[in-house]
Structure 1
């Protein structure tokens, strides 16, 4: 179940990013092509006035669900200098407190965002879709270019925040069980393996900015020649 949710999250982010990029690319090409006398008869009748608004909406959705993805994979920036200097017992307690605080905050945002979306036209839309009486419920505004219900756009807030709240709780449970947090290596390229057979290449792969104690950069004398069993001069 969790693996399916992870894949759905990744596919949604990739789809939103790729589709928005493609729409912007096509819209820019159409705009410049329509400015030429040769191509205007072919593309001048195409209307891409909706492209900018749609791409903004897609990037908002991508950002909200990307934030939840960041919690799961540990790519959010965090200042942990003070926490790393504490005793392991206090460090663990503060980490759990921070994760629960993040879950509480995003849970509140999701709850209030859901209420806002329902009051902004979602309640009316759901009742109308099932043929139920809507009474005096607010139908809600629409976007200026696409004329789409704004509650659909704003739904990214409760949905993304709820997923982010779940990710905070998921990471918190995992930390309590294993004592480890998700960590993302920004220097690692997926699918690219380090070559440890070439001494020169292996020496180049040493990260001299790595912090051996999470506080101070590693000195040359700290390298024990992990790649070839020799100390680097």
Structure 2
């Protein structure tokens, strides 16, 4: 299990980092082509839009890993240890349920888009391919919340 998590960590972070680098390079290329050569590549803007969505969803998953999402630190003010522990377990459980629900809904949306047979305007790929970023991103977030829940189930080490 630890090897799977290590691979997942490296894969997600590397993929998001590569996508961000690719996005910066393509934006630079587009600006240079447009302003220096008065020429533009039609598919770059569309691809960058989809890449931004990809980075957003996989970046959100990485943020769950590092606890970088906005939160309210009300847990530290709960006097009861039992209630504090229950709240600490409830938060990732709620994240699991929410992201699993969004996996289901985004999967249905992707299948519906696939049924339409629509293609993207510039790249001419099936429209369900960019929409597949949604369920993949939510699956990734769900896995992160599951890992967070499992880690919080472990008893705290005594100092």
Q: Same fold (TM over 0.5)?
A: yes
For 1:140 and 1:79, the matched residues in 2 are separated by 44
Residue 115 of structure 1: how far off its partner (Å): 2.0
Residue 202 (structure 1) aligns with: none
Displacement of 1:114 in angstroms is: 1.2
| 2:101 paired with 1:108 | yes
Alignment match, 1:83: 75
Structure 2 residue corresponding to 1:141, chosen from 108, 112, 118: 118
Stretches of structure 2 that go unaligned for 5 or more consecutive residues are none
Tell me which of 9, 14, 36 is aligned to 2:12: 9
Residue of structure 2 aligned with 1:155, choices 107, 114, 132: 132
What do the CA deviations read for 1:30-86 (whole angstroms, capped 9, x no partner)?
111124xxxxxxxx4xx4122111111001011101111111111111011x32110
Q: CA deviation at 1:141?
A: 1.0
User: Structure 1 residue aligned with 2:58, among 28, 50, 65?
Assistant: 65
Q: How many residues align structurally?
A: 153
Structure 1 Cα separation of the partners of residues 48 and 155 of structure 2: 40
Which residue of the partner structure matches residue 92 of structure 1? 85
> How many Å separate the matches in 2 of 1:179 and 1:147?
53
- Over the residues paired in the alignment, what is the CA RMSD in angstroms? 1.6
- Cα deviation for residue 179 of structure 1 reads 3.9
SS at match of 2:19: helix
Q: Identify, as 1 or 2, the structure richer in helix.
A: 2
Distance 2:139 2:99 in 1: 7
Which residue does the alignment assign to 1:231?
A: none
Offset at residue 119 of structure 1 (A): 2.6
Instruction: Return the structure number with greater relative CO, CA threshold 8 A, min gap 6.
Output: 2
Q: 4+ residue runs of structure 1 moved beyond 6 angstroms? A: none
Name the TM-score, length of structure 1 as normaliser: 0.62
Match of residue 32 from structure 1? 35
Displacement of 1:166 in angstroms is 1.0
